[in-house]
């Protein structure tokens, strides 16, 4: 018998991928959208077979009705405190009130359980929500995946393609976990359908250092990529604090200083995984950093 999974944030990039992965596993999927959202944003998911439910997150009864009877609620909500703490808590309370047995929060990050307190604004929100979630009478599972692998070819200035350099702070050999969004989505779908999933699942499509990345890019491009020392962890965190102070009450989800905070957690190793759960749902081919960089 197929399970019913409710997903919030399905019209976002990762949320849509999770929804597709759940549908491929023959789950019955209910997608929650805000009543004020563009109705056309869910047309693709509706066409794939998901049931679209517009809800008002401020209406506790409406939200409870929307999640009622589900086997699990999956959050892929993205935002700052009004979303990760306020809206996600309302979603959690609705799941508890409706008797939903399981909840997967919007974590999808490096290990925020081991980072220094207040060292990363976005991850601190997840740490704060974890306190709320762990006090609730519901079985919870967080999927932690390191950094999204698209940052290797995206806006995060780690691999400097034009200059043939790879940045590092503190230690060029610090291992860092990277996982593609498709791999995260597929794994999260399996976790959502796993009634015995543990509190935390840690996965990594690949684990590489800046030195590894320089060697990979040299091999792929045929041109020499060299390491570029960018400073100490202390100087990196000092720059992040200065940038945060100058930005004031910015509502930007990923300002430059936030990226510095992520790099601080990655290169210090305080957000690194000590064990991985990659094989919990069977052996599979994970997308490597080399594949991501080669596809560029």
pLDDT per residue as tens digits for the range 137-164: 999 999 999 999 999 998 788 999 999 9
What's the farthest any 2 CA atoms get from each other in the chain?
60
**CA 264, CA 253: separation in Å to the nearest integer?**
17
Output the CA torsion sign for 203, 118, 94, 9: negative
Query: What CA–CA distance (Å, rounded) separates 178 from 109?
Result: 10
Secondary element (H or E) of residue 257: helix 256-268
Q: What is the pLDDT along the chain (296 residues), one digit of tens a residue?
A: 799 999 999 999 999 999 999 999 999 999 999 986 666 778 999 999 999 999 999 999 999 999 999 999 999 999 999 999 999 999 999 999 999 999 999 999 999 999 999 999 999 999 999 999 999 999 999 999 999 999 999 878 899 999 999 999 999 999 999 999 999 999 999 999 999 999 999 999 999 999 999 999 999 999 999 999 999 999 999 999 999 999 877 789 999 999 999 999 999 999 999 999 999 999 999 999 999 999 98
Q: How many CA atoms lie within 13 A of 214 on its CB side?
A: 17
- Cα–Cα distance, 109 to 57 (Å, whole number): 25
Q: Where does CATH 3.90.25 sit in the chain?
A: 149-175+207-272+284-295
**What count of other Cβ atoms lies within 10 Å of the Cβ of residue 24?**
12
Task: Specify the domain boundaries for CATH 3.40.50.720 within the chain.
Answer: 4-145+180-204
* Buried-exposed string 185-217: b where 16+ CB fall within 10 A, e elsewhere: bbbbbbbbbbeebeebbbbbbbbbbbebbbbbb
What's the CATH fold of domain 4-145+180-204? Rossmann fold (3.40.50)
Residues 6+ apart with CB under 8 A from 41: 11, 33
Burial grade of 84 (CB within 10 A; 0-12, 13-18, 19 or more):
buried
Beta bridge partners of 140: 103
Buried b vs exposed e over 240-276: b needs ≥16 C-beta within 10 Å? beebbeeeeeeeeeebebbbbbbbbbbbbebbbbeee
pLDDT for 37 equals 67
Q: What is the distance between the alpha carbons of residues 279 and 187, in angstroms, rounded to a whole number?
A: 10
| DSSP 8-state symbol, 103 | E
**Sign of the torsion formed by the C-alpha atoms of 148, 150, 156 and 158:** positive
| 149-175+207-272+284-295 under CATH 3.10.350, yes or no | no
């Amino acid at each position: 018998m197929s399970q019913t999974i409710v997903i919030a944030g399905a019209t976002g990039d990762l949320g849509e991928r999770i929804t597709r992965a759940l549908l491929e596993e023959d789950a019955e999927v209910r997608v929650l959208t805000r009543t004020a959202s563009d109705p056309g944003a869910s047309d693709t998911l509706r066409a794939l077979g998901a049931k679209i439910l517009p809800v008002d997150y401020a209406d506790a009864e409406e939200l409870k009705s929307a999640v009622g009877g589900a086997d699990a609620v999956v959050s892929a909500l993205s935002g700052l405190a009004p979303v990760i703490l306020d809206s996600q808590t309302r979603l959690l309370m609705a799941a508890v009130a409706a008797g939903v047995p399981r909840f997967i929060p919007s974590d999808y990050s490096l290990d925020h359980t081991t980072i220094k307190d207040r060292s990363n604004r976005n991850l601190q929100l997840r740490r704060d929500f974890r306190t709320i979630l762990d006090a609730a009478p519901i079985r919870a599972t967080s999927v932690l995946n390191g950094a999204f692998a698209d940052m290797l070819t995206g806006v995060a200035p780690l691999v400097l393609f034009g200059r043939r350099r790879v940045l590092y702070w503190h230690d060029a050999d610090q291992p860092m976990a990277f996982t593609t969004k498709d791999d995260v989505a597929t794994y999260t779908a399996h976790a959502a359908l796993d009634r015995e999933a543990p509190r935390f699942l840690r996965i990594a499509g690949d684990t590489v250092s800046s030195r590894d990345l320089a060697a990979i890019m040299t091999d792929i491009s045929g041109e020499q990529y060299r390491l570029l020392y960018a400073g100490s962890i202390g100087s990196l965190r000092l720059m992040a604090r200065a940038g945060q102070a100058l930005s004031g009450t910015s509502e930007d989800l990923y300002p430059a200083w936030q990226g510095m905070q992520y790099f601080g957690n990655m290169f210090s190793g305080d957000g690194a995984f000590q064990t991985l759960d990659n094989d919990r749902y069977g052996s599979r081919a994970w997308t490597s950093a080399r594949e991501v960089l080669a596809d560029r």
